[in-house]
Amino acid sequence: MGRFHLCWFAMRIVAGRYRSRVLQAPAGLATRPTSDRLRETLFNVLAPRIAGAAFLDLYAGSGAVGLEAASRDAARVVCVERAPAALKVLHANVERLGVAAKVAVHAVSVTAWLKPTSGAERGFDVVFLDPPYDAAEEYKKTLGLLGGAALGLLAEGAVVVAEHRRKERLEDRYGTLERTRLLEQGDAALSFYSVSRTSLTSAV
């Protein structure tokens, strides 16, 4: 994901049992943590789905989104991140909150983890992905896998959310995934996808 600056800055858990607890994240363009405000918007939408859910945080960075889900009583959280500097902070944040029992960290590329032969866990109710904004191909590859070869990782009725630049328009469909909602906030946007029933019916 590129080089990281050596300076650090703090974020916070927005709500839940760890509300206002401070998290650390490496500064710089290589990791672009989801802002507190955008995370609040995201979880306001996802609120009915989180308690007891299996939550997958792809390109997890510092883990702020996955740890927010854990704070709001997700049953299990899986974070996938391969950049060494981000992983160091992610592990520190998991330890800081004392949530290692339900937050798993996988130090591997997202594409490798999503491959059907990877043995990845299944049954995720919510998937969040936040690749580097400049890595447009990552969106295409990851959403394509989730809507195709890696579809089996999703629970019935799952939602997939991609954070991206507001000016960068993602596709309305990726395989069986169909965009159902687009939220814009400042320079950022959140695209919400779910499995299209039409696609599933035609595939049978």
DSSP codes joined into one string, 153-194: GEEEEEEEEEEEETTSPPPSEETTEEEEEEEEETTEEEEEEE
Q: What is the CA radius of gyration of the chain?
A: 16
Please give the mean pLDDT across all residues of the chain. Answer: 88
Q: How many domains does the chain have?
A: 1
102 within domain boundaries: yes
pLDDT tens digits along 8-19: 456 899 999 999
Residues 84, 108 contacting (CB under 8 angstroms): no
1 within domain boundaries: no
40 within domain boundaries: yes
Domain of residue 90, residue span = 8-203
29 within domain boundaries: yes
Q: What type of residue sits at position 176?
A: T
More confident residue, 8 or 134: 134
The beta strand positions in 29-81, using DSSP E, are 54-58, 76-80
* Rounded distance between C-alpha atoms, residue 180 and residue 50, angstroms: 18
2 within domain boundaries: no
pLDDT tens digits along 67-119: 999 999 999 999 999 999 999 999 999 999 999 999 999 999 999 999 887 77
Residues 77, 64 contacting (CB under 8 angstroms): no
* Rounded distance between C-alpha atoms, residue 147 and residue 140, angstroms: 10
Terminal CA-CA length for the chain: 39
Position 63 pLDDT exceeds 70: yes
Give pLDDT, residue 10: 66
3 within domain boundaries: no
CATH of the domain at 129: 3.40.50.150
Which band of pLDDT confidence, cut at 50, 70 and 90, is reported for residue 129?
Answer: very high
Secondary structure letter of residue 28 according to DSSP: S
Position 128 pLDDT exceeds 60: yes
What does the CA dihedral 51, 54, 55, 58 come to, rounded to 10 degrees?
Answer: 180
pLDDT tens digits along 159-168: 999 999 999 8
pTM of the entire predicted model: 0.89
123 within domain boundaries: yes
